[in-house]
Each structure stands twice: as C-alpha cells, then as structure tokens.
Structure 1
Amino acid sequence: MLRRVVGDRATIWVETSEPAHVRVEAGSGAAGSAPTFSAYGHHYALVVVSGLAPGAAHSYRVLLDEQQVWPAAGSPYPPSVIRTRAADDAAQPVSLLFGSCRQATPQATGRQLPPDALDAYARRLMADPEHRPDLLVLLGDQVYADETSHKVRRFLRRRRAAGHDGPADQVVTFEEYTKLYLESWRDPEVRWLFATVPSVMIFDDHELIDDWNTSASWRADMARQPWWRDRISGGLGSYWVYQHLGNLSPDELDADPLFQKVSAAGDATDLLREFGLRVDDPGSAENTDVPYQWSFALDLGRTRLVVLDNRCNRVLTPGARAMLPAAEWDWFLDQAHGEYDHLVVGSSLPWLMPPAIHHLEAWNEAATESRRTRWAGFAEKVRRAFDLEHWAAFGKSFTALGELFRRLGEGGVGAPGHRVGAGGAYAAPHSISVLSGDVHHSYVARADFGHPVATPVMQLTCSPIHNEVPLPLRPLMRVSWLPPVARLARGLAKSAGVGKPLIRWKRLSGPYFGNAIGTLTLDGSTAYARIEGTTKDGRLHEVVATTYAP
C-alpha cells in the first residue's frame, strides 16, 4: 500500500505471511528496504523509498527476500506507480479524493448494497491513469468492528466456542481485527488503488464501536463490559498498524518513539497491547497532555491539510466537553498559521450538520447536564439512541472552530493568518474546506458569518463509500434542512438555555443518499468540489458540483 509521498521519498506499507526482508524498487536507483516487525503472529513493514525523481510517475515492484510479489505475476491491472510532484510545485493544482464509511465487498458482507464507489473510481482510474489524484483521504469507518459480515461472524463463532470472550457478532482482539482489514482491503480493485494513490486515514466510531466516546456515562458503561479492555487494546493497536502508521511522513516515523520501539522489538505484541490501553483516554478539562496524538497535518503545494481526531481524545467532563483537549487544540491552531493558500480540515464528523439536527444536538448537550437527574438521564438515552454526538453536541468546540475560520477568513492585522500581505497584515486564504463523512449522505453547505468574509468556508460531506441509509430515515434527513423544522428545533434548544449560533449556514447541494466519492481540486485561487455517486452498473456519475473562490 502506497501511503505518503514527500519530496523524493515515499512510504510503502506491507503485510506479509511470515517474517521477511522487504525491498521496494522504483527504477533509476530509487529504492528502499526494511525487515518486517511482528505483532500477534502477524508481520508488517513500512518501507521508505528514497531517490525518486521529481515530477514523474515511477513504476515500482515489491520483493520479499529477493522474490517479487508485487505486481503479481499475470496481473490484469496497470503497473502500480509512485507519482512525485514537481520540485517547485507552488503553481501545480492539488487534487484530493475523499469519503468515508466503507463496508467490505458484497461477496464478503452478503448484503445487497449499491455498488462500491471506491471500486468504481479504481476502474475509471485504470482506464485514465493521467487523472490520478494527489491523495486519498479516508475519513472514518474504514472497517466495522460492530457490524460484521457473515464470513467474519462464522470465524467469531469458532473463536467464542474456543473460549475467546466477546459479543458473538463483534470483533474484540487484534487477531479478529486483522480479519476485517483482510476482508476489506483484499478487494482487487481497491488493493490496486491503494497501491498507486497515496492515502491518509482517520478513524470514526465503528473502528471501535458505535457511539465511541459519546459521553462520560457511556465510557463508564462500556468499562463494565468484561471484553472492553481487549476491544480497546486490539482496536487501537490494529488501527495504529493498519491505518495511522502510514499517515506519518518519513521524518515523523523517525521521531515516533512507538515506531522505533516496535521496529526494534523481536515481537511487538506486548508493546501494542499496552499502547492500546494507555491511549484510551479522552483527556480531561485539567489535563493539557495528550498521550498520543492521532491528528496529523501535511502540505501539498500551496494547500495545507489538517486531519483531526474526533473520537479518541475527546474531553467528556460535564460542563467542559470538547472535541479536542487543550494541547491538541493548540497544536491545531499552530497548523492554522503558515505559508499556504488553501486550508483543508479533515473531520470524520461534519462541522455543519442539517440545522434541525444541529439544534437538537445542542439541546441534548444542555439537557444531559441538567440538575434534574431524571431529565438528564432521559436526555442521555436520547443522545445514544439517535447518535447526537457531532460538533453541535460539543458546543464550545463548534463555536471555537467557527471563530477560528472567521478570523482566518477576514485576514488583517492580528488575525491567525497564513500569508503576510502588504503592511504586515495577514492575507486571508483563498478557501477553507471541511471534509467529512459519517452521516451516510452527501451535501455541500457554506458558512455565513453575518458579514462579508473574503474566504469562502465550506462543509463538504461525502458518505458513504459503500453502505446505505435505511429508506425510512431519508425523509427525516431531508426535512431537517427545512427552515420551519430548524426553527422548531432551535426553540427546543433555546428552552434549555442554549444561545443562538454565531454563524448560519446554507445548503448549496444535496442531500444525496447513494454511495459516493468526493474530489476537491485546488487550482490557483479556485476550489472545485465534486461528488460522484455510483450507478447500478458500477459507474460514477456527478451528483454534486460547486466552485468557490474569494
């Protein structure tokens, strides 16, 4: 799997069936090698390939103990390539492919889902490889630990019968998690796509369990489950190996103490088991220390991408709830400064939701903190039943993010800006885009700060890649955008003492309920967003398109 391309270097992630020495050769002397590391009886390597020429597409091959294993002999697919950007890429457009919520292939799940948008994109790219995106950004629910396929459930039944504790239809241990990744990523088209388009990933709740870290009482209830420690250890340990490790650049890998320990260990099982338990801490209002940061940032040309952890490090202390702990929020603010033209924020949970749902979540947060115990208990049940856990349910964080975007978009002296303009003032970025998933429908919305702001601030939500919304829920999601319904929900929030949001937002496109994949192209001062859905025969067609610029 091709993960990061940085200058003349790239990282290739590999899982092998036994210990081996992995070598990657990309022609013209570009190469890299690494031994595998082991954990829980599985074997992995992350190889840094160096010496890549700028502005070129490099076909590559993977060898295990000097035997070529990729591309596979007789493969019907085009060669896998590593494409580097030009040495001076400031004027080069940036293309980001994004989406979330992907169940495994229909053959694995047994469900009659609409065609997989990632499969459809891979097939189109095979036919037209010149339009390869710079980066694939996967925004959560890459695997479903709590909604398993028939094949995985058969495996789990054998495990439970052998004495391995846990729910009959949900994965718990690292070993069980490996079956999910194998099932999902062995899809031939997706495997080829991952091998030729760099990718970064962030979790959402289903990598662990539905509603993960929705509230302090939720955590207390889960802690009483006899299998929860194994679940959190196996889930976060496997996420680090399969997803997060590839988010790191070669320099960040060198600086990551866990990677250095795992690479040096003969068997990293105990290290990853302890790690998974140690980082299961959403923080507290008093603690500014983040034990392990899942959020990450990178630059592509004049575009800065910051991907936020919306799950693991939440602050759940009543009265001080926050989407990010203080130290990580400060890190995010630092990333908002710098030399760039476009800011893209990856957030698995949409910042701007349908307005009626937003107000309902804001009411719920206030109601769960009521002094009336029974009323607060009722509100907590509503929170869990209806998944009221987005940015609006962390009201201080929602407001802080909007305030940051407003100040960025206004520019001027004293703004947390990016490009120094005339007179020492900060120039506003050309665009701010929030990429999200989770909600199993796709839409585009624009923030309104009540006065002209130079920078357009957009919510781009694309979900699911391969899943679906139950038919009865679709009308509810549609009407939640309607102003009369939003006013009713706002009245409910007001009755609980919730202030009016400082910003408003307008839906520009959607909602679209099919499987979809999004593309954000940033070229000069212009941003172009497109969401494509799948047809019944597995092709892509445009369902949402919008262009925005200062």
Structure 2
Amino acid sequence: MAGLRLGPLLRYVDWESGSTATVWVEASRPCTVEVRCADGASGTSPTFSVAGHHYALIVVEGLTPGSTTAYEVLIGSRRVWPPEDTRLPPSTITTPPVATPAGPGKGAAESAGAAPDGVRISFGSCRWAAAPGGGHDPVGPDALVTLATHLAADPAAERPDVLLLLGDQVYADETSAATRRRLAARRDLKEPPGAEIADYEEYTYLYDESWRDPEVRWLLSTVPSCMIFDDHDVIDDWNTSAAWQRDIRATPWWHERIVSGLMSYWVHQHLGNLSPAELAADPVYAAVRASPDGTEALRRFAAETDADPARTRWSYRRVFGRVRLVMVDTRAARVLAEDRRAMLDPEEADWLREAVLDDPASYDHLLIGSSLPWLLPPLVHDAERWNASLCAGVRGDRWARFGEKVRRAGDLEHWAAFPESFDRFTELLREAASGPDAPATVCVLSGDVHHAYITEPRWPDAPPGNGRASGTASGPGPGSAPVSRVLQLTCSPVHNSVPRWIQAGFRFGWSRTGRRIGRFLARHGRTGASPVTWDRAGGPWFGNQLMTLTLLGRKSALTLVQATAGKQGAQLEAVLERSLTPES
C-alpha cells in the first residue's frame, strides 16, 4: 500500500487567475496522488520514478480566488495528509483576489488583484536542518522552525504570501550525525567523498532531514515557496574558477556528485518553481513522466547540463500582483574561463535583461533574487575585484597563481569577483530604476554571507544623500539617475553559524580603515572605479533570521526577525521594522 513519504509542499500559486496551484509530494511507491480542497477544487497526478523514488507534482485547478481553503492529500481512497494524529492546523491554499479592470477610485494594487493588506514576502538562506557532526546544536533556534511554530500556534498571525529560500537548502558537504550514520550503513566513510554526499540516494537523506520536521513540513504545505540553489547544495565554493573546476573534475567521485546534485535539485526544488504552463512545455519533465523509470532520462539531462551549463536555465520569473520577482542562478550559469569570466553566460544575461526590463509599467516593485549579494562590505568588494584582476594576469603569472590560491582560501567568488558582470548588472539595475515607468523600489534579495544588512547604492550623477533623482519623460537614457529606491537586502542564515572573527571581519569591512585598504587594493589591482558607491543603511545583524517585505501599492516596508531562545521556548524577536518608501 502506497503512503506519503515526504511533503506535501505547496509551491506555485497563480496570481493572475487566482484559481491554480501546484503541490509537490513523494510517495512510497508508484501510485496516483490526489489533492482535494474544501472549496471543491482538486487535482490528480500519477507519480514519476527517479532512482527508486516516486514523486508527483499535482496541478490543483478550480480554486476560489481571494480565498483560503483547507486541503487533503489522498492516495487512492485513503487520506494520507494531514496525519490522523496531527496537532497542527489544516494545510491550506490561499489565493489572491481575481484581477479586475481599474475603475474610478481603484488603485493599481486593487486592479492587479493584490491582497488588500499587501504582498508579504519572507526570505532567507543557509539552513542546517541539524548541525553538522553530533552533540549539542551550537547555533541556536532554527528561524524556519520558529516561524512555523509561531504561525501554527496563532491562526490569526500574519503569514507570508510566499517564502523565498535563497540557497543552501541542504548541505551536501556538511552532514549531521544522523545522516552520517545512514551514509556509514551504505559505504566506507574512509573512502572519498567521506562523510559528504556521494549520490542521488544520499541526497534524498538531506531532503528527508530538512523537510520532515513536523512544523516545517506543515509550514511548507501551507505557504508557497520559491527556491534557488547556492554552493552547499552541491559543494562549498561550487564553480569558483576554471582552475577549481579542473581540479574537482579530476577527482573520481565528483561526476556522480554533480550529476546527482543537479538531479535532486530538479526533482525537489526546480519543478516547483515552474508554472503549470512551463511544466507542460518542459521536455525533460515530459520525458521523465513518460518513462516507467525516469532515472536515465534525468541523469542524461544532468550530465549534459554539467558539461554545457548554457543548455539549461534554472533562473525564473514570478509575478505577485504588482510585484515582479526575477530569481537568478548565480552558480551553474557561470562562465569560468579567465578571458571570458562572467557570472552569467550570454544567453542567461540576455534573459535576465528581458525579464527585468520587459513592460516596466506592469509592476510597482522589482525583486531580484540572487543567492550571492550584489553589494558587499566595501573592503570585501574591493578585495574580490582586486583578486579577479590578479587572476586575470594584470600583474603577471606569479601574481595570478597567488591570486587563485587567495580566491579559493577566501571564498572570493561573489558578483564583485566577476567585475564585468558586476558592472553590467549594476547598469541593468540603474536602467530598471530609471524613467517614467520606474517602480517604487528595486531590491536585490540575497543570502550566503551568514549575516543580515541593508545597503543603498549611489550613482555618480544622482543627488547626494539618496542615490535617486527625478525622472524625465525622455526615459532612462545612458547615465540617467535612478528614480526608484534601489537596495541590497541581505538575510542569512536561517539556521547556521558564523565565527566571531568573521563577524569582526565583516564589521571591519564597513569601517573607514577598511575602505582605505580597499582603495589600496584597487590601485594595486588596477581595477578602475566602481560604477556605484554605497553605504550601509542597516546592520550588520548576526543570528538565525528572516526578512519580510510587505508591498502594497507603491509602498514598501521591511521587517527583520531573529529566532531567540527563551523560557517559553524559541521566539521570533523583531530587530528591525522600517518603511522603505516615503508615505504619500
């Protein structure tokens, strides 16, 4: 008899029709899975098989726009979700109000189908489901578990409309004691890759551990989620450089690791990022579903993608009323050859440009999800740009070899480490934030660096103090200053740690002395001037944390909460509540 092994995860909710959603599950054996809603909406799907596991992504149709409806999951005639003995609330699907034509007295938010109290988007990255190794968890309460517990205990509490998980959903290279015991039962951990993940089956252990916690499982069943990978989903500093890639590909275990990593990401994370229409047009999804065993079809896709990353686009675009989200792959889409080094391959860069600039009048807020921050503490930024210049040979081969060692040792592989890509991305943001149809805010949402902060850039031609200037009817021509407020919002980790010496280093990176050292490195590396300067507008904050943007019309507000331990258990403590747009 088939049962529910993992899930359900509520993934895509259609903000245009308000009537469609997708739900991801893993079953224990081949079967047909049904999602049945209290309002009469439903969907069914047979499972597809990969490496002995059985999955389904059910498209639920006929939902009532502007409603919250409970749902259950059935296999055959048997209900498998919610569990009979659950103490948690029902899992629900919340849909936005259906869009209506704008009329007298109606604002853009209402005509676009936005929720009356705004769109709430919570985001963060870097989550250990359990601390690596064994013993006491040294990093404090898990912010995702704490959020889930808080929402489950208070039905009236405001829930996010969507949860953005910006990388390192699982750690293939840092496994817990429980996972290591499962690995040791399969193979000798003295052989490479040791206590790290080796193949697809072992990747499923990570998702089991990450998504089986009862509160997190309930949260992911009732709050839609968007995901993107970062390095630890595969390995620390994945795709740092061409030299790094040559070295890792020479190891006997790497091919299976990368193929399995891409396969498991496709199954567990990527499929749920897609709309039903995108799923229907996806040839890999069709091939995997059409086969009694989709393993080989998916392995072939993953191997071809590793060999030629430009074959596959992991980036995607989502719309939430008058809010546009563009989620960018900053790991697999890289070009690593030093003479062509880029964060995004040319096709990916073209796609990003179109996704950002297409029909700007249709959105009030532009969010770009990048697992890696665009703007870092100035010293760190200048160090990465200096290092990239050395590795490119600006001071000769000896310095280039030194630069490669420093690059790997220091994890110098953010946007600043790809200088031309940084400059192009910065110009793209300026264009998006300029002209008569510019949105109220342009925010880059990031994680990775195990602390939270806010930065605001200033373009050379913008008025001092705010980074913005008044728009003109002529549009965003070359050199025009932004109209929108542009921000880098960084939030990490959800549940992880950062040593105190690294905390001190990040703080130093913002200091006057740090900036002076950065300017010295820029001169030594002959990097030239940055197209923008920036100041810290908040932070740094250290702890297990989540940020939430609340967007209503052209207004925007930001909240940062941290999970703290107390006598009554873990709690969410608000450490920042701030409006990002002027009241009008």
TM-score range, shorter chain: over 0.9
| Change over 3 Å in CA distance of 1:162–1:137 after alignment to 2 | closer
1:87 aligned partner: 98
* Structure 1 residue aligned with 2:200: 174
User: Could you tell me how far 1:107 is from its partner in structure 2?
Assistant: 10
Cα deviation 1:364-391 (Å, max 9, x = unaligned): 0001111622221111011011100000
What runs of 5+ residues in structure 2 fail to find an aligned partner?
1-8, 100-109, 463-468, 470-481
The corresponding residue for 2:272 is 246
Residue by residue over 1:91-117, the C-alpha shift from the partner in whole angstroms, topping out at 9 and shown as x without a partner, is: 532110100000013599643221000
Q: Which residue of 2 aligns with 1:459?
A: 488
Instruction: Note if contact 1:282-1:312 (Cα within 8 Å) is conserved in structure 2.
Output: no
Question: 270-279 or 219-228, which moves further after superposition?
Answer: 270-279
- The DSSP-based 3-state class of the residue aligned with 2:121 is strand
CA distance in 1, matches of 2:276, 2:434: 35
Go from structure 1 to structure 2 and tell me whether the alpha carbon gap of 1:109 and 1:262 turns closer, same or farther (over 3 Å shift): farther
Q: Secondary structure of the equivalent of 1:397?
A: helix
- Distance, in Å, in 2 between the alignment partners of 1:281 and 1:548 is 43
Aligned to 1:435: 445
Deviation track 1:37-59 (CA, whole Å, cap 9, x = no partner) reads 11111110000000000000010
Q: Which residue of 1 aligns with 2:129?
A: 104
What is the aligned partner in structure 1 of residue 187 from structure 2?
Answer: 160
Aligned partner letter, 1:14: V
Q: Secondary structure at 2:487's aligned position in 1?
A: strand
SS of match in other structure, 1:306: strand
Secondary structure in structure 2 of the residue aligned to 1:43 = strand
Task: Judge conservation of contact 1:529–1:545 (CA < 8 Å) in 2.
Answer: yes
Instruction: Please say if residues 153 and 168 of structure 1, whose CA atoms lie closer than 8 Å, have aligned partners that are also in contact.
Output: no
Distance in 2, Cα, partners of 1:236 & 1:129: 37
How many Å separate the matches in 2 of 1:188 and 1:546? 32
**Distance in 1, Cα, partners of 2:168 & 2:29:** 28
TM, length-normalised to structure 2: 0.88
The Cα of 1:506 is off from its aligned counterpart by 1.0
Residue in structure 2 matched with residue 365 of structure 1 by the alignment:
388
2: CA distance between counterparts of 1:429 and 1:251?
A: 27
Decide whether aligned partners of structure 1 residues 77 and 161 sit closer, same or farther in structure 2, where only a CA change above 3 A counts. same
Report the CA distance shift for 1:264/1:77 in structure 2 as closer, same or farther (over 3 A). same
Cα distance per residue 1:490-541 (max 9 Å; x no partner): 2112211101111011111111110001101111111111111111231111
The one of 442, 451, 454 equivalent to 1:444 is 454
One-letter amino acid of the structure 1 residue matched with residue 370 of structure 2: S
Q: Is the 8 A contact 1:443 1:511 kept in 2?
A: yes
2:301 matched to 1:275?
yes
Cα distance in 2 for residues equivalent to 1:65 and 1:460: 45
Query: Does 2:292 match 1:266?
Result: yes
The one-letter amino acid paired with 1:100 is: S
Partner of 2:244: 218
Among 488, 508, 519, the residue aligned to 1:490: 519
Encode CA deviations 1:275-315: one digit per residue, 9 max, x unaligned: 221111465xxxxxx21100000100000000000000101
Q: Deviation of residue 238 (structure 1)? A: 0.4
Q: TM-score, normalised by structure 1?
A: 0.94
- Name the structure 1 match of 2:581: 549
Give the secondary structure class of the aligned counterpart of 2:311.
coil
Matched residue, 1:417: none
**Offset at residue 260 of structure 1 (A):** 0.8
Whether 2:333 is the aligned partner of 1:313: answer: yes
1:409-445 CA-partner distances (Å, limit 9, x unpaired): 221xxxxxxxxxxxxxx42111001110000000111
Q: Is the CA contact (8 Å cut-off) linking 2:130 and 2:176 kept in structure 1?
A: no
Unaligned runs of 5+ in 1: 284-289, 412-425
Aligned to 2:422: 398
Residue 77 of structure 1 corresponds to which residue in structure 2?
A: 88
Counterpart residue number, 2:312: 292
Cα RMSD for the two superposed structures:
1.6
SS across alignment from 1:427: coil
How many angstroms apart in 2 are the aligned matches of 1:334 and 1:401?
13
What is the match of residue 420 of structure 1?
none
Contact 1:37/1:45 (<8 A) preserved:
yes
Asked if the contact 1:214–1:389 (Cα under 8 Å) also holds between the matched residues in 2, the reply is: yes
Work out the CA distance in 2 between the residues paired with 1:408 and 1:156.
Answer: 48
The answer as to whether partners of 1:105 and 1:116 remain within 8 angstroms in 2 is no
Counterpart Cα distance in 2 of 1:469 and 1:198: 29
One-letter amino acid of the structure 1 residue matched with residue 369 of structure 2: G
Letter in 2 for 1:433: C
Q: 8 Å contact 1:360–1:490 — kept in the other structure?
A: no
CA displacement, residues 474-498 of structure 1 (integer Å, 9 cap, x when unaligned): 1111111112211211211221110
Contact 1:237 1:276 in 2 (8 A): yes
The residue identity in structure 1 corresponding to 2:39 is S
Equivalent in 349, 352, 370 of residue 372 of structure 2: 349
Residue 520 of structure 1 pairs with residue 549 of structure 2:
yes
Counterpart code for 1:98: F
In structure 1, the residue matched to 2:152 is 126
AA of the residue aligned to 2:423: T
Aligned counterparts of 1:263 and 1:320: Cα–Cα separation in 2: 38
Cα distance, 1:50–1:175 mapped onto 2, change above 3 Å: same
Which stretch shows the higher mean deviation, 501-510 or 107-116?
Answer: 107-116
Q: Which residue of 1 aligns with 2:12?
A: 4
Q: Is the contact made by 1:455 and 1:549 (CA closer than 8 Å) also made in structure 2? A: no
SS at structure 1 position matched to 2:58:
strand
- The answer to whether residue 51 in structure 2 is matched with residue 40 in structure 1 is yes
Distance 2:260 2:160 in 1: 32
State whether residues 223 and 229 of structure 1, in contact with CA within 8 Å, keep that contact through their aligned partners in structure 2.
yes
Q: d(CA) in 2 for partners of 1:484 and 1:437? A: 25
Match of 1:55 in 2: 66
1:192 aligns with 2:192: no
Identical aligned residues as a percent: 49
* 1:405–1:124 Cα change, 3 Å: same
Q: Deviations over 1:295-337 (max 9, x none)?
A: 0001000000000000001011213211111111111111112
- Number of matched residues? 529
Aligned residue number for residue 340 of structure 1: 363
**2:189·2:195 contact (CA, 8 Å) conserved in 1?**
no
For residue 11 of structure 2, what is the amino acid of its counterpart? R
Instruction: Tell me if the contact between 2:133 and 2:175 (Cα under 8 Å) persists in the aligned partners.
Output: no
